[in-house]
């Protein structure tokens, strides 16, 4: 597990450095007439668990270094010339205290996960690579990106990452206090149409013989 925290832009925040693995695979069926290849998110891997990478500027050591894609084949992947995996290293997953609720909602989901927002290259060239943009563990981040019509995919987060995230949530997440329900006696009265009901304290008017006016005969 990568050590945290790191110093980013002068502010110390818990940060996990990860690599994004994208998979290129051929499109089959009728859709192949319009699109030969497609990309999808294959994995998000903490840097200390990545395979050995070629030396050089492929992996930067400080934020802002160029990110270069590296072709890899994950262990246990069946040999298939039509399928290729590319690693995009050096993405920071930064935790912010004001988004603790977003991390909490991720943790209590059936499967806590990483979300990756990425963009495809408009080209039919199988060598044209996609462009991962950002990685998050926040449910709120993913929702905002989806609302903005961005492409967002997810992969399960490993137990060690969930444990790291849980420690941050335990320290910073404060559930909003439940509002006290208004007593029923103070609720406004409405009729069956939902309109405010009128209540009178006068005795109900009697109907029939003897109800005021002329005396009974």
Distance between terminal CA atoms of the chain?
101
DSSP state of 139: H
Q: Which residue has the tokens 């409405």?
A: 190
Between 13 and 194, the more confident residue is 13
User: Residue 27 corresponds to which tokens in the numbers above?
Assistant: 């499109």
Distance CA 75, CA 188 (A): 66
pTM for the whole structure: 0.70
Q: Is the pLDDT of residue 57 over 50?
A: no
pLDDT in tens, 164-190: 999 999 999 988 776 666 555 555 555
Cα 138–chain centre separation: 5
What is the arithmetic mean of pLDDT over 139-166?
A: 96
Q: Which of 4-18, 26-40, 67-81, 95-109 has the lowest mean pLDDT?
A: 4-18
Query: What band does 68 get if pLDDT is binned at 50, 70 and 90?
Result: confident
Strand order in the sheet with 15-26: 37-46, 15-26, 84-94, 70-72
Distance CA 192, CA 208 (A): 28
Q: Is the pLDDT of residue 10 over 50?
A: no
Distance CA 55, CA 68 (A): 12
What pLDDT is recorded for position 201? 53
Query: What band does 62 get if pLDDT is binned at 50, 70 and 90?
Result: very low
What is the arithmetic mean of pLDDT over 180-208?
A: 57
């Amino acid at each position: 597990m990568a050590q945290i925290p790191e110093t980013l832009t002068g502010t110390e925040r818990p940060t996990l450095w990860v690599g994004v693995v994208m998979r290129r695979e051929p499109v089959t069926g009728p859709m192949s007439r319009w699109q030969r290849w497609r990309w999808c998110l294959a994995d998000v891997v903490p840097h200390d668990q990545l395979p050995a990478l070629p030396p050089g500027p492929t992996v930067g050591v400080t934020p802002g270094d160029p990110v270069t894609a590296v072709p890899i084949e994950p262990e246990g992947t069946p040999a298939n010339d039509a399928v290729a995996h590319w690693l995009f290293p050096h993405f920071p997953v930064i935790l912010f205290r004001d988004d603790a609720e977003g991390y909490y909602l991720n943790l209590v989901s059936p499967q806590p996960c990483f979300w990756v927002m990425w963009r495809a290259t408009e080209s039919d060239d199988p060598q044209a690579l996609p462009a991962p943009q950002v990685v998050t563990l926040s449910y709120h981040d993913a929702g905002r990106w989806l609302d903005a019509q961005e492409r967002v995919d997810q992969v399960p987060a490993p137990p060690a990452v969930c444990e790291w995230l849980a420690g941050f949530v335990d320290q910073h997440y404060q559930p909003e206090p439940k509002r006290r329900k208004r007593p029923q006696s103070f609720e406004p009265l409405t009729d069956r149409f939902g309109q405010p009901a009128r209540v009178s304290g006068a005795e109900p008017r009697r109907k029939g013989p003897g109800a005021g006016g002329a005396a009974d005969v």
